[in-house]
A and B are shown apart, each in its own frame.
Chain A
Amino acid sequence: KAGVTQTPRYLIKTRGQQVTLSCSPISGHRSVSWYQQTPGQGLQFLFEYFSETQRNKGNFPGRFSGRQFSNSRSEMNVSTLELGDSALYLCASSLAQGGYGYTFGSGTRLTVV
């Protein structure tokens, strides 16, 4: 059974640019959540999608957006990148929210210069 696949693994962008990150969940998993991980802030919740609907959103500015497709694959987009957006972005898939727990991808390491 394939795991959660995130692409790309590493990315370097310039301040002001935009970026799109991709996540393919485990087959059959309909819930996809995104987290930002930084040394200072830890794991911060970005948003959660289930069957193409965003059900919850964290406290991030509108520059951060996402979507989920009918095959459960998800993308997140960050526009007008800032230096502070440098982080490891983790995607986690689950059968549903609740007591199932997550399967995480290896993450996308974004560096903004």
Chain B
Amino acid sequence: AQSVTQLGSHVSVSEGALVLLRCNYSSSVPPYLFWYVQYPNQGLQLLLKYTTGATLVKGINGFEAEFKKSETSFHLTKPSAHMSDAAEYFCAVTGGFKTIFGAGTRLFVKA
């Protein structure tokens, strides 16, 4: 069985500051891990994914995430926040024929 925990339902940063969104997972099989972003009134868009190989994965819009097996974590980061990054972010884990999503973290970016 898989589960995902996103720490913090809301995160607020200033424009230009580091973005860090936290995700911890559990999985009974080697996981595939994903981050998605959702803008208002839209579906989710894939930001990046970890399958195998390099544990630091880069995605779109300057985001990256690091898979840490020992910590069962897959935190999302971006060095410098932009106003357009304001959205809701979802971490997800796939095992078998099902993908489980975390509860989401809403990112606010202050000017």
Q: Which residues of A contact B52 (CB under 8 A)?
A: 99
Chain A residues touching B, majority SS: strand
Q: Do A102 and B32 form a contact, CB below 8 Å, given A42-B101, A56-B96?
A: no
- Compute how far the CA of A103 lies from the CA of B100 in the bound complex, rounded to whole angstroms: 15
How many residues of chain B have a CB within 8 Å of chain A? Answer: 23
Contact among A55, A90, A98 with B44 in the assembled complex (CB-CB below 8 Å)? A90
Contact among B36, B42, B94 with A98 in the assembled complex (CB-CB below 8 Å)? B94
What size tier do the contact residues of chain A reach? 20 to 34
Contact among A42, A45, A101, A104 with B98 in the assembled complex (CB-CB below 8 Å)? A45
Q: Contact at A103–B98, with CB atoms within 8 Å?
A: no
Q: Do A99 and B32 form a contact, CB below 8 Å, given A42-B103, A56-B96, A56-B97?
A: yes
Could you give, for residues 5-22 of chain B, a 1 whenever the CB lies within 8 Å of some chain A CB and a 0 otherwise? Answer: 000000000000000000
Contact among B46, B94, B99 with A103 in the assembled complex (CB-CB below 8 Å)? B46
